[in-house]
Amino acid sequence: MISTAVAAAFVGTAVYGTVAFAHSINDDLRTPAVAFTRAGDESAVPDPLRDACATDAPRNRPPANSTLSATDSTGTVKLYRVRSKDHVVTVPVSVTNSGDTRAIYTVTVRVTLTGDDAGVDVDNAVAIDGAVTPHTTTSTEVTFTGIGSAPLSSMDVSVLDVREQRCPVN
């Protein structure tokens, strides 16, 4: 008799648990997964482009007394003379936004070794920190650590890729 009561309790708990679980699933299905925002509300979903566009890139000029080494086909990105210190190669980069809206830039630079190490290519990308305002120039640098001790005279630099994302106009 006691074992029948215990068994009934287990069955009742299992049935109640299944019903409670089914109700919770139905509640989850009735609740929207993404809350819609009203005009003026901050979106709860992260938007990398919006977040990057909210910050201005510094308005700095290319390095002083630096020789131009390469440019992209549009003249938007310019690379300057390669520098090396402690086996770290640095390429100064400037980006000019000639458009009428703010933009985010990511530049991929290639260093090709010539001479004894001919044919070795090393690529690295750098993103401009913030949005470049229209008709301004900002500069940064891209570093390479995998080149070793090749002399600077045996390094050719080039712009491999420029990614530009225009910021939405408010």
pLDDT at 34: 47
Rounded average pLDDT over 34-61 = 65
Quick one: what percent of the chain has pLDDT higher than 90? 33
| Cβ neighbour number for residue 105 with a 10 Å cutoff | 23
Q: What is the pLDDT of residues 76-99, one digit of tens each?
A: 999 999 988 888 899 999 999 999
SS3 65: coil
Per-residue pLDDT band for 105 (boundaries 50, 70, 90) equals very high
Range of lowest pLDDT (26-40, 52-66, 67-81): 26-40
Rounded average pLDDT over 129-152 = 87
Distance CA 115, CA 131 (A): 39
pLDDT at 53: 86
Q: What is the pLDDT of residues 115-136, one digit of tens each?
A: 777 778 889 999 998 899 999 9
pLDDT at 19: 47
Considering all CA atoms of the chain, what is the largest pairwise distance in Å, rounded to the nearest integer? 98
pLDDT at 1: 55
Computed over every residue of the chain, the mean pLDDT equals 77
Range of lowest pLDDT (17-31, 93-107, 153-167): 17-31
DSSP single-letter state for residue 33:
S
pLDDT at 101: 93
Per-residue pLDDT band for 48 (boundaries 50, 70, 90) equals low
What is the edge-to-edge ordering of all strands in the sheet holding 121-127? 121-127, 103-113, 155-166
Rounded average pLDDT over 35-45 = 51
Distance CA 18, CA 85 (A): 67
